[in-house]
Amino acid sequence: MVGRPRLVIVGAGIVGCALADELTGRGWTDVTVVDQGPLFATGGSSSHAPGLVFQTNPSKTMTEFASYTVRKYTELGCFRQVGGLEVATTPERWADLGRKQGWAESWGVEGRLVDADRCVELWPLLDPGKVLGGFHVPTDGLAAAVACGERQAARAIERGARFLAHHTVLGVEQSGGRVTGVAVEVRGEGVEYRVVPADVVVCAAGFWGPTVGAMAGLTVPLLSLAHQYARTGPLPGRAEAAAPDGWPILRHQDRDLYFRTHGDRIGIGSYAHRPMPVAQHEIGPKGTVMPSVQAFTEEDFDPSWRDAVELLPALKQTHYEDGINGVFSFTPDGFPLIGEAPHLDGFWVAEAVWVTHSAGVARALAELLVDGRSGSDLHECDLNRFEKAQLSPAFIEERGKRNFVEVYDVIHPLQPMESPRPMRTSPFYQRQRELGGYFLEAAGWERPQWFEANVPLLEDLVRRRRTDLRDLPEEARGMAVEPFLGAAQRDAWASRHWSPVAAAESHATREGVALYDMTPLKRIEVAGPGAAAFLQHLTTNNVDKKPGSVTYTLLLDPGGGVRSDLTVARLSEDRFQVGANGNLDLDWLTRHAPGGVQVRDLTPGTCCIGVWGPRARELVQPLTDMDLSHEGFRYFTCKSGYVAQVPVLAMRVSYVGELGWELYTTADMGLKLWDTLWATGLPIAGGRAAFNSLRLEKGYRLWGVDMTPEHNPYEAGLGFAVRRDKDFLGGDALSEDITRKLVPLLSTEVVMGREPVRHAGRTVGYVTSAAYGHTIQRPIAYAWLPIELSAPGTHVDISYFGRRVPAEVAAEPLFDPGMEKIKR
């Protein structure tokens, strides 16, 4: 954008105000914020939020958003750092608080596990007999949402921004695929209509987002839900003197409750009630003072009141008063929505943002607008992360409700939502069911973790192992089996959604041949006369090779951060098939494609089987005329042909690090392909648990987990995919001078990811992916560490549920460094 663009922000809630401040602070001062309500208690969610800010979140980005919000609002004087306390009343929650402490430590928030006595010291009304312990974060606290909005607005106004009350946006003006302004209704003496011109419009309309989005033809995937909040009458026993600012904000997640003090009263919020969706057209009639407040339904609150009294017996002395059913936004996955409309340039959203993350989100969006990139990794929050199949009103409603219900649940990192499922199924789904597949979900796809049909393989593996150990006494033999399977190195938590069958599938892949359903892998066609030049400009490696070539390459953002890693297969002079990581890649390619280059999502209409293992050639060669010899079909090349009756595109690529091919065909022929390969009697079916173990042994990164836009290719160990002798997006910003590195750790226990890594008592990094390496017989954890601690042999500790797990940096790859298994 040249010069100073004219911006209109729709909504003067805490998000709109924070954004006006962040933008004007970066020199974009031509900012107009319009709100249908009065300023600054506009009637939106911010007007009612009790403003609790708990910073700790499984997501690094969300935690950083919250920490920035705390810092900023503390400076602005609208935040009280009373601390945050989460109490456990069940052993499961108590254990989970240990996990939470790990996230806080990984993401740089100071927090401690405290015993029941300390909990009662912090919150004297707690029943000491109920509480097992707590997690205390001294820097958490209370944001006065309206005041924070107002103070940020004041700074923005000083720099030239305008805030217009009683301006209701009724339409989004556009021309030639670009936004040009908003049409507003102005209510003053009378009613007036006019257009506010703009180069950029940001929708920060809170739970009205879907309505404003619709004016621009955009689906804003959030559901407005009512949530209950009430205050007690005065409590004589509240010791003001001890904590003049109030006691810490308190969570009782085992009962879906949170608490704060309001002077001598206690505020109680509940997520325990039934989901109460509010349709967009039911939102408080225009002109009502507080559209975000619905009538309080006591019968929904009563069970929560009883739970509150049980935790805080002193509440018996009083009752609840002035309750509300307050409305705010829930998205299908709980993350906010940040980004630009795919089809309308200049129309942005900052939606479904809590007070907790408001300043952080605003900063990130301001960076995106002004610099073209944010210092934060926004992939979890990107507006365009959802698949088309995840944008139906029915899906948004069902997942929004599930997120409300699960908001305080202990959620395992692999645990999918229960409904709506199944959504997307590959053509092999029927067969996978018949094989006893244990399904989890990703991007809407049902993905088998392992197959119960492989239990005999497991039994066979155990028999072989016992035979290998026949010289040992019987007792020792028994003891040696569990560790061999990677079962003894995991606790009950790491054993969830896992089975030792994965060990058998993993060994069968390394020794025989296995079929892996790669259908969920995003496939994008890039075609047209400028396709080669376009991909050459957008990615880091040289993709302008002969038709039939396949190249591993990276997408970078303008700051050199890794946006994705891709395989680019050149099918013909002007046609490429890109193997990608998700919808964000489709969005990125579509957005950057010049006229004449078509970008198309092939995923739903096609499918893919990875046929991998030393016997892959023996399996496929008899079924095809394609020459599958090592010389006839080189590593990282592709060919079109037939496998029996099935037309396929075959790509000699393997994310598990074995000989083999990815075989692509159209959805209609998918089942035929599976059955044809299966009928040979050679392969087994492999699931994602084995897959993940195999790829970690090879050191193949998983984008979004191992590396994100926060990291450059050299830090991520992907410098080999960068060609410095060509021009590409993000290349100018790249530096090989690095201070941190992604490295493999070998440890004694299987961890899950996101755990802090310590060295000499100091937190030095965090784990990304982890698995048991069945071939190398060691638990593997990839981790980010400072460069001075990245040398193989360095000893560190992983903190797992507060327990110290010793680990050692290893050289990579951990398996087949000479590539002998792949290139033969």
| Contact partner at residue 365 from ligand THG, ligand FAD, none, CB < 5 to 8 Å by partner kind | none
Contacts of residue 640, defined as CB under 8 A and 6 or more positions apart, other chains included, come to: 571, 647, 648, 649, 650
- Within positions 198 to 217, which residues make up the interface with ligand FAD, using CB under 6 A? 204-206, 208, 212
Binding mask 747-766 for ligand THG (x = CB under 6 A): --------------------
| Contact partner at residue 48 from ligand THG, ligand FAD, none, CB < 5 to 8 Å by partner kind | ligand FAD
Q: In the numeric block, which tokens belong to residue 733?
A: 């910003």
Q: Which amino acid is at 286?
A: K
Q: In the numeric block, which tokens belong to residue 311?
A: 């935790």
**In sequence order, what are the beta bridge partners of 263?**
none
The residue behind tokens 């954008």 is 1
Q: From the CB of 210, what's the least distance to ligand FAD, in Å?
A: 10
Tell me whether residue 358 or residue 432 sits nearer to ligand FAD (CB atom).
358
Tell whether residue 686 is a contact of ligand THG (CB under 6 A).
no
Binding mask 235-274 for ligand FAD (x = CB under 6 A): ----------------------------------x-----
| Contact partner at residue 37 from ligand FAD, ligand THG, none, CB < 5 to 8 Å by partner kind | ligand FAD
Q: Which of 655, 728, 782, 800 binds ligand THG (CB under 6 A)?
A: 655
Tell whether residue 579 is a contact of ligand THG (CB under 6 A).
yes
Tell whether residue 72 is a contact of ligand FAD (CB under 6 A).
no
Assess contact for 87 and 96: CB atoms under 8 A: no
| Contact partner at residue 292 from ligand FAD, ligand THG, none, CB < 5 to 8 Å by partner kind | ligand FAD
Return d(Cα 706, Cα 740) in angstroms, integer. 13
Segment holding 335, helix H or strand E: none
Picking from 301, 309, 377, 355, the residue whose alpha carbon sits closest to that of residue 145 is: 355
Tell whether residue 524 is a contact of ligand FAD (CB under 6 A).
no
Tell me whether residue 69 or residue 768 sits nearer to ligand FAD (CB atom).
69
| Contact partner at residue 49 from ligand THG, ligand FAD, none, CB < 5 to 8 Å by partner kind | ligand FAD
- Within positions 119 to 178, which residues make up the interface with ligand FAD, using CB under 6 A? 145, 168-169
Q: Which residues are catalytic?
A: 227, 258, 565
Tell me whether residue 327 or residue 746 sits nearer to ligand FAD (CB atom).
327
Tell whether residue 815 is a contact of ligand THG (CB under 6 A).
no
Tell whether residue 582 is a contact of ligand THG (CB under 6 A).
no
Return d(Cα 552, Cα 554) in angstroms, integer. 7
How far are the Cα atoms of 296, 589, 653, 725, 731 from residue 541, in angstroms, in the given order?
59, 16, 17, 10, 11
Q: From the CB of 361, what's the least distance to ligand FAD, in Å?
A: 9
Q: From the CB of 723, what's the least distance to ligand THG, in Å?
A: 11
In 407-558, where does DSSP find H-type helix?
429-434, 455-468, 474-485, 501-511, 531-538
Tell whether residue 294 is a contact of ligand FAD (CB under 6 A).
no
CA dihedral (97, 98, 104, 108) in degrees, to 10, reads 160
Stretch that binds ligand THG, among 59-67, 151-159, 388-396, 576-584 (CB under 6 A): 576-584
Beta strands 200-203 and 347-351 are: parallel
Return d(Cα 690, Cα 517) in angstroms, integer. 12
Return d(Cα 720, Cα 9) in angstroms, integer. 43
Q: Count residues near ligand FAD (CB under 6 A).
A: 40
In 38-115, where does DSSP find H-type helix?
60-76, 91-106
Tell me whether residue 205 or residue 513 sits nearer to ligand FAD (CB atom).
205
Q: In the numeric block, which tokens belong to residue 393?
A: 């009103």
Stretch that binds ligand FAD, among 7-15, 426-434, 609-617, 767-775 (CB under 6 A): 7-15
Return d(Cα 489, Cα 779) in angstroms, integer. 8
Q: Which amino acid is at 510?
A: R
Sheet holding 7-10, edge to edge: 162-164, 31-34, 7-10, 200-203, 347-351, 337-340
Q: Which of 8, 22, 23, 37 binds ligand FAD (CB under 6 A)?
A: 37
The residue behind tokens 């996990």 is 99
Assess contact for 518 and 662: CB atoms under 8 A: yes
Q: DSSP string of 721-777?
A: G--TTS--TTGGG--S--SEEEEEEEESS---S--EEEETTEEEEEEEEEEEETTTT
Tell whether residue 36 is a contact of ligand FAD (CB under 6 A).
yes
Q: From the CB of 325, what's the least distance to ligand FAD, in Å?
A: 8
Assess contact for 580 and 751: CB atoms under 8 A: no
Stretch that binds ligand THG, among 33-41, 342-350, 650-658, 797-805 (CB under 6 A): 650-658
Tell whether residue 363 is a contact of ligand FAD (CB under 6 A).
no
Beta strands 795-800 and 803-809 are: antiparallel
How far are the Cα atoms of 224, 235, 298, 312, 606 from residue 309, in angstroms, in the given order?
29, 13, 16, 5, 56
Assess contact for 152 and 76: CB atoms under 8 A: yes
Binding mask 690-729 for ligand THG (x = CB under 6 A): ----------x-----------------------------
Assess contact for 366 and 438: CB atoms under 8 A: no
The sign of the torsion formed by the CA atoms of 581, 586, 592, 596 equals positive
Picking from 664, 638, 663, the residue whose alpha carbon sits closest to that of residue 569 is: 638
Tell me whether residue 151 or residue 227 sits nearer to ligand FAD (CB atom).
227
| Contact partner at residue 9 from ligand FAD, ligand THG, none, CB < 5 to 8 Å by partner kind | none
3-class secondary structure, 490: coil
Tell me whether residue 339 or residue 779 sits nearer to ligand FAD (CB atom).
339
| Contact partner at residue 205 from ligand THG, ligand FAD, none, CB < 5 to 8 Å by partner kind | ligand FAD
| Contact partner at residue 359 from ligand THG, ligand FAD, none, CB < 5 to 8 Å by partner kind | none
Q: Which of 268, 566, 663, 796 binds ligand THG (CB under 6 A)?
A: 566
| Contact partner at residue 655 from ligand FAD, ligand THG, none, CB < 5 to 8 Å by partner kind | ligand THG
Binding mask 44-83 for ligand THG (x = CB under 6 A): ----------------------------------------
| Contact partner at residue 653 from ligand FAD, ligand THG, none, CB < 5 to 8 Å by partner kind | ligand THG
Tell whether residue 582 is a contact of ligand FAD (CB under 6 A).
no
- Within positions 516 to 555, which residues make up the interface with ligand THG, using CB under 6 A? 521, 552
Q: From the CB of 521, what's the least distance to ligand THG, in Å?
A: 6
Q: From the CB of 747, what's the least distance to ligand THG, in Å?
A: 23
| Contact partner at residue 581 from ligand FAD, ligand THG, none, CB < 5 to 8 Å by partner kind | ligand THG
Tell me whether residue 636 or residue 714 sits nearer to ligand THG (CB atom).
636
The sign of the torsion formed by the CA atoms of 687, 692, 693, 694 equals positive
Beta strands 167-175 and 191-197 are: unpaired
Q: Which of 36, 325, 581, 775 binds ligand THG (CB under 6 A)?
A: 581
Q: Count residues near ligand THG (CB under 6 A).
A: 14
Q: From the CB of 488, what's the least distance to ligand FAD, in Å?
A: 42
Return d(Cα 109, Cα 137) in angstroms, integer. 8
Tell whether residue 610 is a contact of ligand FAD (CB under 6 A).
no
Q: Which chain residues interact with ligand FAD by CB under 6 A?
A: 10-16, 34-37, 42-46, 48-52, 145, 168-169, 204-206, 208, 212, 227, 229, 269, 292, 326-328, 353-356
Q: Which chain residues interact with ligand THG by CB under 6 A?
A: 521, 552, 565-567, 579-581, 636, 651, 653, 655, 662, 700
